[in-house]
Amino acid sequence: MEARSVVAEPSGKLQMNTDGQAFLEHIAVSSTNKFEVRFSKISIRLDLGSALDARELSLLYEAAFLASLCNIAFNGLGGCGGEIKPDREIVRIMLEREFMEARTRFSRCAGRQRLTSIQQTSIEHIFLNVFVSDENLSPETGFSQ
């Protein structure tokens, strides 16, 4: 069961505050990690704290973080000067599997069903979008141009 409390806004109007909202607000004001702060601010703008509890937001955070790591690894954005090293392929495969598992865990949580279609689409595009740029596609796959 989700924890909820009633809080008075400065205007005097009462607002329902969920543990999801409290979770996001806590991250926004207390974290120095840029990814966490970005995640929190975007999630607050999308009003995810009202539909997702803190545990569900943690699942989304994990999937979003792994998606970001995948994008870095798949597109040579790490510390190798833009080069994608073949000997690191096992790490990329492992990372992709972890992302897919985390994404599945989030997709199966009850709160995801409470999200509007706009929120779901925004989450997919902003947090869970993993891609490989054209110049990083292998010629052997037949997908490069």
In sequence order, what DSSP letters do the residues of 86-137 get, joined into one string? GGGHHHHHHHHHHHHHHHHHHHHSHHHHHS-HHHHHHHHHHTS-----GGGS
> What total of structural domains would you count in the chain?
1
Q: Is residue 141 part of a domain?
A: no
| Interval 61-111: pLDDT, tens | 999 999 999 998 888 766 666 566 677 789 889 999 999 999 999 999 999
Q: Is residue 69 part of a domain?
A: yes
Q: How far apart are CA 145 and CA 135, in angstroms?
A: 8
Which tokens is 57 given? Answer: 């937001």
Q: Is residue 143 part of a domain?
A: no
- Please provide the distance, in angstroms rounded to a whole number, between the alpha carbons at the two ends of the chain: 51
Q: Is residue 140 part of a domain?
A: no
* Mean pLDDT, all residues of the chain: 82
Residue 131: which residues within 8 A CB-CB, separation 6 or more? 71, 74, 75
Q: Radius of gyration over alpha carbons of the chain, in Å?
A: 18
pLDDT above 50 for 40? yes
Q: Is residue 126 part of a domain?
A: yes
Q: Is residue 144 part of a domain?
A: no
Q: Is residue 142 part of a domain?
A: no
Determine the pLDDT at residue 4. 44
| 4: helix, strand or coil | strand
Q: Is residue 102 part of a domain?
A: yes
Could you identify the residue written with the tokens 């199966």?
108
Question: Which domain, by its residues, includes 96?
Answer: 4-132
Q: pTM surpassing 0.85?
A: no
